[in-house]
Amino acid sequence: MQDLFNYFVKRCDSLHENEVPKSITGRLKRLNRKDREALKKLLIEKGKELELSGHNQVISWLETSLNLINEHAFHFNKVFFSPGNDIKNEIKTLLDHASQTVDLCIFTITDNELARRIVSCHKRGVKVRIITDDEKMEDNGSEIAKLAEAGIPVKIDHSHYHMHNKFGIIDNKIAITGSFNWTYTATKHNQENMVATTKFEIVEQYYNEFNRLWNELFDFKGL
């Protein structure tokens, strides 16, 4: 975020919306709400400083800066259904574009194509964490042991009841949730649904719940 701040400040005399390079607008799109608000606050404070120093274009510069941040904020709210590939394809896209973190709280994972995408995230340096059900990971076709062997931290419950959640948080800015299990049957045959949203309040609540479970549950040691 500091480099974005520096970009705006260096152009306090010459910032034009139609001249901002795609590298900068792309970075703005990747900011979550918390970082966007922090960047705005820094720019407003800098605007006050520039105004006190006699800068005569500070209002125009600040308006343009804030407009750019708002214009390129990433908003996404959509519902997907199965049978069919819509849900699976959306999950694949989100995993492929993850750049920082992938937190998955998934009842069962048997779809090896999705499992490979998770491993790919881990290999390119994305911090991946998985919470799953202790009984379902012993099912035939479960990919959990393979994911753990790849070096991905996994936590499980130890209960007669199920860890039945099916949600994930991507880069702390996109939450996915619904009835969809990460299985071939859910894609090809079942009537399932998944919501994907960037709404900050929802993402934050899922993130907090994931961390609560992560701190309470148990490390997976292998089958």
* Active-site annotation holds for 164: yes
**Cα(64)–Cα(74) distance, rounded to whole angstroms?**
18
**Residue 223 CA to its chain's centroid (Å):** 29
Among 41, 164, 188, 189, the active-site one is 164
10 is catalytic: no
Distance CA 168, CA 174 (A): 8
At 72, list the tokens.
Answer: 């390129």
- Three-state secondary structure call for residue 125: coil
Distance CA 89, CA 137 (A): 23
22 belongs to the catalytic site: no
Secondary structure element (H or E) that encloses residue 133, with its range: none
Catalytic residue chosen out of the listed positions 46, 136, 166, 173 = 166
What is the C-alpha to C-alpha distance for residues 58 and 50, in angstroms, rounded to an integer?
Answer: 7
Active-site annotation holder among 103, 111, 133, 171: 171
Q: Which residues are catalytic?
A: 164, 166, 171
